[in-house]
Amino acid sequence: MDIEKTLLRKVGEAIHRFDMIRNGDRIAVAVSGGKDSVTMLQVLLLLQKRAPIDFSVCAFTVEQGKFLAPVAAVGEYIRSLGVEWTYHTDNPSLRLLEEQPDHGCDLCSRFRRRAVYQIARGLGANVIAFGHTADDLCESLFRNILYTGQLGSLPPVTVSRKRDFRLIRPLIYVTEELTRGYVESKGVPVVPCGCSLRTGTVRRGIREAIADWEQEHPHLRENILKAMSNIQPGRLLDTRFYDPDTNPDIETENEKDEVAVPAAELLQIVNA
């Protein structure tokens, strides 16, 4: 498999389908230091040369005190690509780490998002690109179902609260297996965040559960992602989308040969 060609096809499909990038955009790429965001930056640069529209790309990294090694090597690599790279130390996040060392992901994310908007504004960007992958979308779906009682995941495109930035996720059709293979084949330096190694978290539990299920059902992750693009509102319980007069009881192919996702089993696993 040609990894680069596959990445270009999948990212190109996401960008086209959800109108992520438009003529004249200045895109600030959020580079966390890990494999996903670095891959996203490189694919966007490749697409920039081929796209029928003009857009510019810059990159930034937010230091929150959780990198496992200095990120200078990542910055040097980004600059070697001819991309402007901004390294921002977020002091409020460092204070949070000192005052609440056991804080959760949600609080850290809020601090990071505030810093991201500040950086993007300084870079003159109107679009911010995040490196969430298909794996992240699947995990987010189950996390919302099990812990918030909502049927939703990460949106491919949204806007900031003040509507001054468009937030995009070009890797929604890309698995982490692909990004891992890409950085390994290119010898791209990566610096993971310490949070990625934490065990006992809800996110890690869901990820491991999905990986276990895929041992028996190899296309499970692909089907979960496909389900998010194939919603049947009349077969759910939200009365806003339910009309019994136009909702016939039709047996579907899935019901004939159903492989149910064991949500109860997942809840036990992630709470273990």
pLDDT, position 248: 67
Tokens of residue 193, six digits = 């965040």
Q: List, in sequence order, every residue forming a beta bridge with 133; answer none if it has no partner.
A: none
Q: Per-residue confidence of the chain (272 residues) as pLDDT tens digits?
A: 699 999 999 999 999 999 999 999 999 999 988 999 999 999 999 999 999 999 999 999 998 888 888 889 999 999 999 999 999 988 888 887 788 777 667 777 888 899 999 999 999 999 999 999 999 999 999 999 999 999 999 999 999 999 999 999 999 999 999 999 999 999 998 887 776 656 557 888 898 899 999 998 888 989 999 999 999 888 888 988 888 777 766 655 444 444 444 545 544 544 44
85-117 pLDDT tens trace: 999 988 888 887 788 777 667 777 888 899 999
pLDDT at position 270, please?
Answer: 44
Q: Which of 54, 52, 263, 225 is nearest to 138 (CA)?
A: 225
Q: Please tell me what DSSP assigns to residue 44.
A: H
CATH topology of domain 3-196: Rossmann fold (3.40.50)
**Residue bearing tokens 């959800």:** 18
In the chain, list all ranges with CATH 3.40.50.620.
3-196
pTM of the shown model = 0.86
Say how far apart CA 87 and CA 138 lie, in whole Å. Answer: 30
For 180-202, write each residue's pLDDT tens digit. Answer: 999 999 999 888 777 665 655 78
As a whole number of angstroms, the distance between CA 255 and CA 194 comes to 42
Shortest CA distance to 77 belongs to which of 46, 101, 41? 41
Of the candidates 136, 142, 204, 147, the one whose C-alpha atom is nearest the C-alpha of residue 171 is 136
User: Residue 242: its pLDDT value, please?
Assistant: 80
Predicted pLDDT of residue 255: 46
